[in-house]
Structure 1
Amino acid sequence: MTTILYIKASPRPEAKSTALADAYIAAVRQQRPNFKVDVLNLAIEKLPEFDGNKVAAKMAAIAGQDQSATQKTAWDQIVSIAQRFIEADQYVLAVPMWNGGIPYRLKQYIDVIHQPGLLWTLDATTGYHGLLKNKSAVLALTSGAWGPSMPSPAFGIDHHSTYLKAWLNQAGVDNIHEIRFQPTIINSDLEGSFNAAVSQAQSLAKSIGVS
């Protein structure tokens, strides 16, 4: 069964990024009701701290060294969380811009799962190689003042979509689509802009589905 992992990064139920992703998911379900949608709400998901034991376990994995019992326990927890991400066919991320970047809970989640031997490998000569194959991603993006047409840095800098795409690329995901409602505050036609973004989400679902 094809699985979409739907990651909600905003703690606000009424967030526009979530509404855009919901529109995309609804359109996909209308076409392919047999698809499984696994919802990961980071506002309520229990995520472990990426503490010293987990860092040590990661460094041992990079160096090809045996992990201590404590490190192995920490690593097993990482693997169990990352496996849910690895097993999905498509990622739908609803992500508002926070201070030019991404919400801290999403960063914590990425820091937990983005591990050597799970999402990537590193070659001393050729660099990083992603381990995810035949995956795609849809980014539902919102921001208050920044937008593609707004002067930067006066209205902010996009460390938001750029970071997400760089992370996904490093993991092996290069089939990435964007749905943008930006800006959401300094906007002369909030309703019209949002409706246009929803239409974009619906059209995207019809054109790509899960591929």
Structure 2
Amino acid sequence: MSKLLHLSASPRDEASESLRIARVFTEAYQDSHPGDEVEHWDLWDGSLPDFAVGAKAKMTVFGGNEPRGAEADAWAKARRTFERFDSADRLLFSVPMWNASVPYVLKQFVDVVSQPGWIFTVDPVTGYGPRLAGRGKRVAVIYTSAVWGPRLGPEFGTDHQSTFFGDWLRWTGLTDIQEVRFHPTLTGDWDDARCAADARARDIAKVF
């Protein structure tokens, strides 16, 4: 039995297109994988720890030492966050575009879980080593935007959304990635775009 973990980076509830598409995806997944577990993680729910002290702990670990006191507490909270993320072998991210990139809560998630020995190793000669590679994990990402679109010029923005997040996924070793995109733009046909995104979400979910 597999576990699908949906991580949501949108705080807009019923008004969110990324969450709407995620519901289409998870419903199709449950229909096709009735024995699997599905968990939803709203990254805005306050469960992500602050990482100011954790950043100090990270450098303590990099130096080959053990975090203590407040650093140890921060490191333990970060570890629990990573373990929740790592508990699933199927990952679904709903990612709206904010100011050409991702919502800051998703960057917070990335910064909390991206730790030495958990997500990566580093060697002075060979560089980074991805710790999540070769473990059979699969990823689907829903990218949405309202203004930017792939066929528009730079006056409508730039895609630092999927370039940043896709690069992070591959850096961790997660390379089995499927994308669902919803970019209707200000003058596009939103109904057609919704139908196309929903159809792709269902197709991926059925065999995910």
Aligned positions of 1:104-183 closer than 5 A: 104-132=104-132, 133-151=135-153, 153-183=154-184
Q: Which residue of structure 2 lines up, in the alignment, with residue 198 of structure 1?
A: 198
Q: Which residue of structure 2 lines up, in the alignment, with residue 91 of structure 1?
A: 91
Looking at structure 1, the residues matched to 62 and 4 of structure 2 have their Cα atoms a distance apart, in angstroms, of 29
Q: Which residue of structure 1 lines up, in the alignment, with residue 12 of structure 2?
A: 12
Looking at structure 2, the residues matched to 173 and 95 of structure 1 have their Cα atoms a distance apart, in angstroms, of 17
- Check conservation: 2:51, 2:74, Cα contact below 8 A: no
Looking at structure 2, the residues matched to 134 and 61 of structure 1 have their Cα atoms a distance apart, in angstroms, of 28
3-state SS of 1:64 partner: coil
2:123 is aligned with what amino acid? Answer: D
Q: Which residue of structure 2 lines up, in the alignment, with residue 57 of structure 1?
A: 57
Deviation string, structure 1 residues 97-155 (Cα, Å, up to 9, x no partner): 0000101111111111111111111111111111112211101110111111212x211
What is the root-mean-square deviation of aligned Cα atoms in Å?
1.3
3-state SS of 1:7 partner: strand
Q: Which residue of structure 2 lines up, in the alignment, with residue 45 of structure 1?
A: 46
Q: Which residue of structure 2 lines up, in the alignment, with residue 21 of structure 1?
A: 22
3-state SS of 1:74 partner: helix
Structure 1 residue runs of 4+, over 3 Å off?
A: none
2:56 is aligned with what amino acid? Answer: A
TM-score by length of 2: 0.94
TM-score by length of 1: 0.92
- Check conservation: 2:137, 2:176, Cα contact below 8 A: yes
Q: Which ranges of structure 1 fall in alignment gaps of 5 or more residues?
A: none
Q: Which residue of structure 2 lines up, in the alignment, with residue 71 of structure 1?
A: 71
1:86 is aligned with what amino acid? Answer: D
Q: How many residues align?
A: 205
